[in-house]
Amino acid sequence: MKTEVDLVDVVGGNLGSVRRCLDRLSVPYNLVNPGHPPDGSRPIILPGVGNFGAVMANLQKGGFDKMVKHLVAGGTPYLGICVGLQILFDWGEESDSAGLGLLPGKVVRFKQGKIPQIGWNRIECPDVQQDEGNPWPSGYVYFVNSFFPEPENNKDVLYTADYFGNFCAAVRRDNITAFQFHPEKSGPFGQTLLTRWLESVSAISAKAHLSGGGKC
């Protein structure tokens, strides 16, 4: 049975493409928002496209941001996509505003090249993030981004890419995984990454179901 996930619908953007990808993978999902919040019993996917500050403002309605932060800090698996990655950090240059602060670091703007970066780029996984006997593969994924994260801890970097210099393209720490690129728009390789994440959190999800989740 596929792991059921909670898909955050408060930020709009690429919600539709993520839903279609989950449908293709036969992954059941629940839409969650300030009126229908997650309880921590299922992994959370937070997709987002657009302005860092606007996304945070939407999440802050009804204290939804604090709820998500509480659940993730408590161990609920989290997958962020695009701005869903950026808001994990302390601060974003785009709106000069605070993020969730779940990972130390900041989000800054590209200084060179055509901005935003739009198109396919190759991602590489540093050795520190490779699981023994189960490596994270390299490949080409689809980006649409003007900003990228600068984690304070290099061990949080899951993937890097090169756009007029190396930048952090994905992060991973404990129950947190997030992609700056769009795996749902990156063909079979992107779907492989989503499947890998789902497999990695299935045991955590099963344990959460048995224990009744991590309700606030």
Active site residues: 82, 182, 184
212 burial level (CB within 10 Å; 0-12, 13-18, 19+): exposed
Burial profile 183-206: b = 16 or more Cβ within 10 angstroms, e = fewer: bbbbeeebeebbebbbebbeeebe
Strand partners, 148: 108
- In Å, how far are 149, 155, 197 from 68, measured between CA atoms? 20, 23, 19
Nearest CA-CA partner of 84 in 18, 19, 178: 178
